[in-house]
Amino acid sequence: MGEYRLTVLPGDGTGKEVIAEAAKIIAVFEKFSPASFNITTIPCGGEYYLETGKEWPDGSFEHCRDNSDAILLGAIGWPGARLPNGDLAGGQVILGLRSGLNLFANVRPVKLFPGVKHKIHGVHKQVWDSEQVDMVMVRENTEGLYHALLRRMSQRAIGETDKQMVIESFPGLEGEVKWDARPISRKGSERVIKFAFNLAQHRQRKLGKSQKITCVDKSNVTRGCRLFREIFHEIAAENPEIEIDEAYIDAFTMWLVRNPEQLDVVVLPNMFGDIATDLASVLQGGMGMAGSANLGPNHMLFEPVHGSSPKYAGKNVVNPIATLSSVQLMFEALGYRHHDSDMDRCADILMQAIEEHFKEGGSVTYDLGGNASTSEVGDAIAERCEKLLRAEF
């Protein structure tokens, strides 16, 4: 196994704290397994923008594009940090990379670990068995309602000026009107839906049980979604061994909460995926548990879904598991892409460490009803990894 070039972007607020725990875990794998990383850390985000007038140092986008096998991002977003045109400061990092590196599949696993309680009603209750919540949401990541903003951000990242889109008129509307186009393309839909089918097949092999794929859209109302669903059926016809289902996003939100056991792989257009994954995180114990991968043909970026949570920044209290799960996804994706069986083992071991931590009643942060600190949970997982790795390698 070679050395992987890893670019770490801690970003804003609690992003920095959870990234410190990720670094701790990665160091354990470097020490006790054949895994090896050449790490470059780049400051970035809204806070960095307020301090320096830049979202990240010049050349950072190029470094991510040309010198990174994987990118690990903490969180972007800080109160009051806006670009002169009102866009999110730091957007160049998260959105510029999604668009500029063609990271078209945003993969967000939703899994309730045994020993963790979901957060429906805002309190912890064990209603489902953990096996009932084990799905992966695949969010289209480069177009839809985000398209214009994504383009503005990737153009900023490569130093092009914003290209304004043509303004149409809206008959029947009066006074000031702002609007956002929601383009959905055949190519963009095909690639993410194919990815979702491949993932369903991969899970079928890995978990040894059949997987269903559900297409979620609003094809009863929008033309873009009609195209999305049409393509879903075309690709389904090429994959008859995968069971399919379909839902409109409104009804889906209800089924997601009521019958999560019926979902395996879910594929959604961009904005619906953004919304549905926050909702789904409640089933897995909250946003502190939600990791993600942003995957493209040549690049990959991993990040917790939760954001920078300014309210908790600097307090060492937020849950690092979403970030450690993102590192787990990184090991898995590197292993898969580079046919690296050592990396596959590292991915399994990190998953095992996280699972056993919860199963055996390990310490948890406030969001899961405990009072452990961010770094205490990170230390506990690191210790488990070390034990497992010493036995393995």
Which residues form the interface with ligand IPM (CB under 6 A)? 76-77, 94, 274, 305
The minimum distance between CB 152 and ligand IPM, in angstroms, equals 12
212-217 and 134-140: which strand pairing? unpaired
- What does 77 bind: ligand IPM, Mn ion, none (CB cut-off 5 to 8 Å by kind)? ligand IPM
Q: With respect to Mn ion, which residue has the nearer C-beta, 150 or 350? A: 150
Using CB atoms within 10 Å of the CB of residue 366, give its burial: 0 to 12 exposed, 13 to 18 middle, 19+ buried: middle
- What does 13 bind: ligand IPM, Mn ion, none (CB cut-off 5 to 8 Å by kind)? none
The one-character DSSP state at 121 is: G
The minimum distance between CB 356 and ligand IPM, in angstroms, equals 29
C-alpha distance across the termini of the chain, in Å: 13
Contact range with Mn ion by CB under 5 A, out of 25-33, 65-73, 172-180, 267-275: 267-275
Q: Can you tell me which of 264, 274, 303, 342 binds Mn ion, judged by CB under 5 A?
A: 274
User: What DSSP assignment string belongs to 91-108?
Assistant: HHHHHHHHHHTT--EEEE
Regarding 303 and contact with Mn ion (CB under 5 A), the answer is: no
The minimum distance between CB 367 and Mn ion, in angstroms, equals 17
The minimum distance between CB 238 and Mn ion, in angstroms, equals 31
The minimum distance between CB 238 and ligand IPM, in angstroms, equals 30
3-state helix, strand and coil shares in percent for the chain, rounded to the nearest 5? 50, 15, 35
Q: With respect to ligand IPM, which residue has the nearer C-beta, 216 or 305? A: 305
Closest residue to ligand IPM, Cβ-based? Answer: 274
How far apart, in Å, are the Cα atoms of 242 and each of 137, 215, 216, 219, 233?
16, 13, 16, 22, 12
- Residue 162 CB-half CA count within 13 A: 13
The minimum distance between CB 274 and ligand IPM, in angstroms, equals 5
Q: Where are the beta strands (DSSP E) in the chain?
A: 4-11, 37-41, 70-75, 105-111, 134-140, 212-217, 243-248, 265-268, 291-295, 300-304
The minimum distance between CB 305 and Mn ion, in angstroms, equals 6
37-41 and 4-11: which strand pairing? parallel
- What does 75 bind: ligand IPM, Mn ion, none (CB cut-off 5 to 8 Å by kind)? none
Q: With respect to ligand IPM, which residue has the nearer C-beta, 274 or 342? A: 274
Rounded CA gap, 19 and 74, in Å? 6
Q: With respect to ligand IPM, which residue has the nearer C-beta, 75 or 231? A: 75
Q: With respect to Mn ion, which residue has the nearer C-beta, 47 or 274? A: 274
Q: Where are the beta strands (DSSP E) in 164-253?
A: 212-217, 243-248
Q: By the criterion CB under 5 A, which residues form the site for Mn ion?
A: 274
